[in-house]
């Protein structure tokens, strides 16, 4: 199956959006990211989540803060569960879920400070 060029370039578009968004507008929700990038249904939130996962892998491999931390669920001030699962799998967060909120807040601050660098 040939990759959809809109999907293939989505991680780069999400990174640009998060690096250039005014600090006062952050964090963005998954829906806000989808809307800002003009994504059309179906599965817009799923596509954003996949792009964020790709960015997490890139950032961890490069030793950068995870810019994906700047995106949260509309149902709270935290990312979706998949963010935490991948952060643990990549060795960025501790395995203990009780430590995830604190680890997230630290990663958020690091990502905010590291934008555009």
Task: Please list the pLDDT of the chain residue by residue as tens digits (117 residues).
Answer: 334 444 559 999 999 999 999 999 999 999 999 999 999 999 999 999 999 999 999 999 999 999 999 999 988 789 999 999 999 999 999 999 999 999 999 999 999 999 965
Q: Where are the domains of the chain?
A: 25-114
Which three-class secondary structure state does DSSP give residue 83?
Answer: helix
Task: For residues 49 and 30, give the distance between their C-alpha atoms in angstroms, rounded to a whole number.
Answer: 7
- Under DSSP, the state recorded for 116 is T
Q: What are residue 115's DSSP bridge partners?
A: none
């Amino acid at each position: 199956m040939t990759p959809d060029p809109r999907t293939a370039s989505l991680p780069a578009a999400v990174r640009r959006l998060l690096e250039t968004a005014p600090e006062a507008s952050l964090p963005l929700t998954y829906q806000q990211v989808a809307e800002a990038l003009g994504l059309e249904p179906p599965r817009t939130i799923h596509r954003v989540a996949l792009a964020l996962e790709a960015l997490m892998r890139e950032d961890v491999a490069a030793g950068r803060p995870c810019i994906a931390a700047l995106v949260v669920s509309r149902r709270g001030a935290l990312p979706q569960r998949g963010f935490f699962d991948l952060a643990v799998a990549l060795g960025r967060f501790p395995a203990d879920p009780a430590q995830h909120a604190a680890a997230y807040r630290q990663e958020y601050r690091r990502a905010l400070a590291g934008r555009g660098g």
